[in-house]
Amino acid sequence: MMAQIQKDNDRLDLAPKKFNMWIFIFTSFMFFAALTSGFIVYSGGKGHGLNVIMPQAFLYSTIIILASSVTLFLAQKASKSLQFQKQRMFLWLTFLLGIAFFAMQVYAMYVLAYKMQIYFSNENASRSFVYVFAGMHLVHIIAAILLLLSTLRGAYKNIPQVRNLFKMEMTSIFWHFLGIIWIYLYVFLLLNQN
């Protein structure tokens, strides 16, 4: 009876945190929608297009973030089945893929700046939007990696299963959201590269 009361209390304590996550996701979505709207207004009004072919590194990073969503899904599935060793393994894979995504994005910006000579400038601010899109997404990725590390730490501790599942759910919601946002940004950039 006491265990059930504690479980119910845990659920009640966690509900506001989940609500806060959804609020954060909504505001992040609106932020990226505003950025893409700003690009459309600027490039349409001034006649400035990107006139840039997106680096292949952006495609590779898209594949990496899709793979990381799969590994995180498998980690969540393992946590629900009480297969904690598998959960930790898939969380580590997701972490490594997250780091690889980050590195590939930085490399893509390096290619833009140093190999393609596309700079962050006010001469053609449309091109600067590429750096803004990728940079702001990377800030969110850093937050997601920290959340992932917190979930991984919880997977090694003897925390109640309701909290383990909650951490997995929160991390999954945020991580998959960032994957969707990157795909949206990448497709948006591809459609506007000429």
Predicted confidence at residue 86, as pLDDT, reads 95
> What pLDDT band is residue 11 in, cutting at 50, 70 and 90?
low
118-161 confidence digits (pLDDT tens):
777 666 677 788 888 899 999 999 999 999 999 999 888 878 88
Q: What is the CATH number of the domain that holds 115?
A: 1.20.120.80
Q: What is the pLDDT of residues 66-119, one digit of tens each?
A: 999 999 999 999 999 999 999 999 999 999 999 999 999 999 999 988 888 877
Q: Report yes or no on 159 lying in a domain.
A: yes
What pLDDT, on a 0 to 100 scale, did the predictor assign at position 128? 81
Q: What is the pLDDT of residues 25-65, one digit of tens each?
A: 999 999 999 988 888 887 775 556 677 788 999 999 999 99
CA-closest candidate to residue 167, choices 156, 145, 152, 177: 152
pLDDT band of residue 3 (cuts 50, 70, 90) is: low
pLDDT on residue 159:
82
| CA distance to 7, 68, 94, 188, 193, per residue, from 72 (Å) | 25, 6, 6, 25, 31
Supply the pTM of this predicted model.
Answer: 0.86
The Cα–Cα gap between 191 and 19 comes to 34
Q: Domain range for residue 111?
A: 53-191
On whether residue 64 sits in a domain, the answer given is: yes
Does residue 32 fall inside a structural domain? no
| pLDDT at res. 173 | 94
> For 22-35, how does the pLDDT look when each residue is reduced to its tens digit (9 = 90+)?
898 999 999 999 98
Counted domains in the chain: 1
Domain-embedded: residue 22 = no
Q: Distance (Å, rounded) from C-alpha 6 to C-alpha 82? A: 20
- The predicted pLDDT at position 193 comes to 76
Structure tokens belonging to residue 8 = 């119910």
More confident residue, 66 or 193: 66
